[in-house]
Structure 1
Amino acid sequence: MKSLLRFFPSALVAMVLTLFMTSCAAIGDIFKAGAYTGIIGVVVVLAVVIWLVSKLFGGNRNP
């Protein structure tokens, strides 16, 4: 049960992001804002994905 409770917040954030952020609207806004905004957006999204994967599959480092 404890592992499920540790997994739930990360899964909830991922689910909310997938449901409320449509790709067409996000890409359209990025093209309107410019190339640098798109590059920064991609870097931020990659950082969040890497962080989520490390939280989900990082293992238990506390003894």
Structure 2
Amino acid sequence: LAPWLGHLMVSRQETARPLLTPGEVMQLPPDDAVVMVSSVAPIRAKKLRYYADANFKRRVLPPPPLADG
């Protein structure tokens, strides 16, 4: 070795790992979701709260009346 390098050694290595571990999925923010559909790669998405979005509130139907008896 050249004397100016001393004993310093640097190495890099790539290792495969899941995009999200089970622990990371459990720690997702409440507004995030993982959408899984067969034959399609999983999608990380933001949850849409229809009851909190003005555009969707208008589309929500009132609950059906309860039957007596």
Q: TM-score range by the shorter chain?
A: under 0.3
TM-score (norm 1): 0.27
Going by fraction, where is helix more abundant, 1 or 2?
A: 1
Point out the structure with max Rg over C-alpha. Answer: 2
TM-score normalised according to structure 2 size: 0.25
Larger relative contact order (Cα-Cα within 8 Å, sequence gap ≥ 6) = 1
